[in-house]
């Protein structure tokens, strides 16, 4: 027999013989009373064990009697009972297989922690990162298990806050599980008699305890509704020490300028002529960053034109030639993206620094996916080149042209607040909607299906009456755009939606679910209705000619907002025959100007 005690969380174990020896060494009354106390305690303990054993025997006998009566009443033969038993009986191997197929969060979490710490272990064997802060508990995807000792103070503090958020979230999950269990129990109250009494007792006791342990919880309201969300950098899947290694093919970024990002994969020369030529006519002097096909797959004249535009001294053209590895529907390697239908990988985007200082390119850590989805990783990498208060415009390239400088009248501010001298940590985003009077998310089979495919009907059905936000037109300060792009990449990682167009589903879900409003780095989101902002989305107006809508001046060739002002950026112009024809004529003019410049340069 042993005596157990606990002191400061550490269990102690002492044999009864040692206790008795200690008692016998004493000769005073105090020692004698200690002996009497231990002797009495042992007797009481023995009596309790005997009583418990008797109760157990009685319970077993009762079960045996009930089983016998049931067998008599049902008149089930012994063979039938054994067949029922054999039907549910498993061999040892079957039982092990069944057990291993079920998720055990604690065990799996411990395995994930160990796996995530292996890179740190390897570094520490080489004498590096010996004092790196470590998270020894699995809190889910999206939080690092350790941080490098070279991490700056702001990132380290953000990491620690994220850990605290995750811990709080676990407690909230426990609260929700309790709510769901008690709700299910309550629903059965009318058919199970005394179950209602059990329900009230269970809910009152446990929920009150959770309230005391966390904070005041309102009825059916998630306690973390207003907590900050910080999405991982897209490099995270390639490892904690990976970084962007893809460099521009043409030009260099100017961190002190505004920038326009466009995905321009697989197009012929006229698309680039229209995009670059119309932007040049607005006197925009910032960066235009384009993603194009691999150089050996470009359409005739494209590379020559882009290189000739790089030294004009107006638009700073930055071009990335991306060698996509794409696959057709059968999984065979294809020669191109097939207008975004084929799924592609982006190898060599990220890399790690080797011991000798050289960079090693890494394979794409994500599955092959539509380039319309993968482009947000490119945009994110490009955004890192700019100061936090500079403005970015993410725009579709094929069906867009510019009428005025899109950054001319935006809300400017500096990263350094002159009054408080503190760094502004949250930025502004501009979203642009389609015409909500003509259609909404639920009324558009495409937009509805993109959301349902990615998130499920139950999750998104409440958004069906909301306006359609166009993912091909987004503006914002760099600090907010970078956070938004992290969130967009994270949506693919979470949903694995492989349908072309799911990026628009991600875009709408982030806003309408209010997830983006809680994202770190995003302080304000402005929604512009169609025809009332910097960018005019014309797609839903195709039910009749734009001139009949009163937004296209045929004589001047200008697209107008509803109040008669000039639309700075026109998107989806090709849905209207007259406007599309006008833009094609403008492209021909840009082409003649370029050819004229080539001839002039050749004669010099």
Whole-number Cα distances in Å, 47 to 16, 43, 293, 350: 18, 6, 84, 70
Sheet containing 359-361, strands listed edge to edge, beginning at the edge strand earlier in sequence = 243-244, 350-353, 359-361
Strand 243-244 with 350-353, pairing: antiparallel
Q: Is residue 81, in this structure, part of any structural domain at all?
A: no
232 and 121 in a common domain: yes
CA distance 244 to 361: 9
Same domain flag for 194 and 228: yes
Contact assessment for residue 393 and residue 475, using Cβ atoms and an 8 Å cutoff: yes
| Domain annotation covers residue 180 | yes
Distance from C-alpha of 591 to C-alpha of 272, rounded to nearest angstrom: 10
- According to DSSP, the residues that pair with 320 across neighbouring strands are 291
Dump pLDDT digits (tens) for 360-418: 999 999 999 999 999 999 999 999 999 988 999 999 999 999 999 999 988 787 655 44
> How many Å apart are CA 27 and CA 34, to the nearest integer?
11
Residue 428 has which token pair? 């502004």
CATH of the domain at 242: 3.90.550.10
Q: What is the 3-state secondary structure (H, E, C) of 440-480?
A: CCCCCHHHHHHHHHHHCHHHHHHHCCCCCEEEEEEEEEHHH
As a 3-state breakdown, the chain gives helix, strand, coil percent values, each rounded to 5, of 45, 15, 35
Non-local (6+) Cβ contacts of 436 within 8 A are 467, 468, 529, 530
Q: 206-235: string of b/e by CB count within 10 Å (b at 16+)?
A: eeeebeeeeeeeeeeeebbeeeebbbbbbb
| One domain for residues 361 and 416 | yes
Whether residue 224 is found in the same domain as residue 308: no
Query: 97 in a domain, yes or no?
Result: no
Q: Which domain holds residue 198?
A: 107-237
- Are residues 227 and 244 located together in one domain of the fold? no
The list of the chain residues with pLDDT below 70 reads 1-49, 62-90, 94-109, 140-142, 152, 154, 165-166, 168-227, 310-313, 414-424, 604
90 contacts 100 by C-beta, under 8 angstroms: no
CA distances from residue 506 to 200, 451, 483, 547 in whole angstroms, order as listed: 41, 7, 14, 33
Contact call for residues 430 and 526 (beta carbons, < 8 A): yes
* Distance in angstroms (rounded) separating the CA atoms of residues 495 and 506: 9
Residue at which a domain ends, from 203, 237, 271? 237
User: 3-state DSSP call for residue 104?
Assistant: coil
CA angle centred on 258, ends 256 and 259, rounded to 5°: 120
CB 411 within 8 Å of CB 504? no
Residues 275 and 379 in one domain: yes
Is 95 a member of any domain?
no
Residues 6+ apart with CB under 8 A from 319: 248, 249, 250, 251, 289, 290, 292, 306, 310
pLDDT at 142: 62
Q: Say what angle helices 371-383 and 502-512 make with each other, to 10 degrees.
A: 60
- 502-512 and 478-495 helices cross at what angle (nearest 10)? 110
Answer whether 15's CB lies under 8 Å from 21's CB. Answer: no
Contact 441, 450 (CB under 8 A): no
- Cα–Cα nearest to 459, from 501, 500, 497: 497
Structure tokens at 530: 């169609």
State whether 192 and 286 are in the same domain.
no
Q: Is residue 20 part of a domain?
A: yes
153-187 and 195-213 helices, crossing angle to 10°: 170
CA 326 to CA 328: how far, in whole Å?
7
Residue 229 three-state SS: strand
- SS3 sequence of 475-501: EEEHHHHHHHHHHHHHHHHHHCCCCCC
Same domain for 199 and 248?
Answer: no
Q: Are 182 and 203 in contact (CB under 8 A)?
A: yes
Angle at the Cα of 423 (from 417 to 426), degrees rounded to 5? Answer: 100
Q: What pLDDT does 190 receive?
A: 37
Q: From residue 382, give the alpha-carbon distance in Å to each of 90, 393, 435.
A: 57, 12, 31
Helix (H, G, I), strand (E, B) or coil at 556: coil
Count the domains in the chain.
3
- Judge whether 393 and 382 are in contact, CB under 8 Å: no
What SS3 state is found at 235?
A: helix
**Cα 185–Cα 190–Cα 191 angle in degrees, nearest 5:** 85
**What are the beta bridge partners of residue 370?**
343
CB 317 within 8 A of CB 306: yes
| Residue 99 in domain | no
**Is 520 in the same domain as 426?**
yes
CA atoms within 13 A on the CB side of 354: 6
> Among residues 185, 204, 237, which one ends one of the domains?
237
User: Could you give the C-alpha distances from 139 to 459, 564, 596, in angstroms and in order?
Assistant: 24, 54, 62
Residue 6 Ramachandran class (φ > 0 left, ψ -120 to 50 alpha, else beta):
beta
Radius of gyration in angstroms for the set of CA atoms belonging to the chain, rounded to a whole number: 34
545 lies in some domain: yes
Query: Is there a single domain that holds both residue 179 and residue 157?
Result: yes
Residue 156 three-state SS = helix
Residue 585 lies in a domain: yes
Q: Which of 215, 237, 259 is the last residue of a domain?
A: 237
Are 214 and 300 contained in the same domain? Answer: no
Sheet (strand 400-402) strand order:
400-402, 569-571, 535-537
Same domain for 528 and 565, yes or no, is yes
Distance CA 524, CA 508 (A): 16
């Amino acid at each position: 027999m042993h005596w157990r005690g606990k002191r400061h969380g550490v269990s102690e174990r002492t044999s009864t013989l040692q206790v008795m020896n200690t008692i016998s060494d004493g000769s005073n009354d105090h020692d004698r009373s200690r002996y009497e106390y231990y002797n009495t305690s042992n007797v009481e303990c023995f009596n309790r064990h005997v009583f418990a054993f008797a109760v157990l025997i009685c319970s077993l006998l009762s079960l045996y009697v009930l089983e016998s009566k049931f067998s008599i009443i049902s008149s089930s033969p012994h063979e039938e009972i054994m067949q029922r038993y054999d039907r549910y009986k498993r061999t040892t191997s079957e039982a092990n297989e069944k057990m291993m197929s079920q998720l055990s969060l604690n065990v799996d979490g411990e395995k994930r922690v160990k796996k995530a710490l292996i890179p740190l272990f390897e570094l520490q064997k080489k004498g590096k990162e010996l004092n790196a802060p470590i998270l020894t508990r699995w809190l889910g995807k999206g939080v690092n298990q350790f941080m490098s000792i070279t991490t700056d103070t702001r990132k380290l503090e953000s990491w620690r806050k994220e850990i605290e958020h995750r811990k709080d979230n676990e407690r909230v999950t426990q609260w929700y599980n309790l709510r769901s269990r008690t709700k299910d129990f309550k629903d059965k109250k009318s058919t199970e008699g005394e179950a209602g009494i059990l329900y009230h007792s269970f809910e009152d006791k446990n929920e009150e305890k959770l309230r005391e342990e966390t904070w005041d919880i309102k009825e059916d309201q998630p306690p973390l509704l207003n907590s900050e969300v910080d999405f991982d950098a897209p490099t995270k899947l390639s490892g904690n020490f990976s970084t962007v290694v893809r460099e521009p093919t043409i030009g260099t970024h100017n961190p002190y300028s505004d920038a326009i990002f466009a995905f321009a994969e697989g197009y012929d020369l006229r698309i680039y002529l229209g995009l670059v030529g119309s932007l040049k006519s607005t006197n925009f002097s910032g960066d235009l960053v384009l993603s194009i096909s691999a150089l050996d797959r470009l359409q005739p004249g494209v590379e020559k034109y882009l290189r000739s535009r790089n030294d004009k001294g107006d638009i700073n053209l930055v071009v990335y030639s991306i060698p996509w590895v794409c696959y057709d529907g059968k999984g065979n390697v294809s020669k191109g993206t097939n207008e975004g239908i084929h799924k592609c990988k982006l190898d060599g985007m990220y890399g790690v620094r080797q011991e000798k200082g050289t960079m090693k390119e890494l394979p794409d850590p994500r599955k092959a996916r539509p380039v319309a989805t993968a482009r947000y990783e490119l945009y994110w990498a490009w955004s890192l080149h700019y100061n936090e208060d500079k403005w970015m415009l993410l725009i579709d390239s094929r069906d867009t042209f510019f009428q005025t400088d899109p950054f001319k009248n935006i809300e400017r501010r500096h990263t350094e607040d002159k009054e408080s001298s503190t760094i502004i940590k949250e930025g502004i985003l501009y979203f642009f909607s389609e015409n909500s009077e003509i259609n909404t998310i639920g009324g558009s089979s495409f937009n509805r299906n993109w959301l349902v495919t990615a998130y499920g009907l139950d999750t998104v059905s409440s958004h069906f009456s909301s306006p359609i936000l166009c993912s091909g037109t987004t503006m914002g300060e760099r600090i907010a755009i970078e956070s938004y792009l992290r969130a967009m990449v994270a949506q693919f990682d979470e949903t694995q939606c492989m349908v072309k167009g799911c990026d628009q589903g991600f875009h709408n879900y982030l806003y309408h679910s209010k997830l983006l409003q809680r994202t770190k780095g995003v302080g304000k989101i402005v929604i512009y209705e169609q025809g009332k902002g910097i960018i005019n989305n014309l797609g839903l107006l195709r039910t009749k000619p734009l001139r009949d809508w009163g937004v296209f001046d045929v004589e001047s060739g200008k697209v107008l907002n509803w109040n008669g002002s000039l639309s700075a950026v026109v998107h989806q112009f090709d849905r209207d025959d007259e406007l599309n024809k006008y833009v094609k004529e403008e492209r021909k003019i840009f082409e003649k100007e370029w050819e004229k410049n080539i001839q002039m340069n050749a004669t010099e």
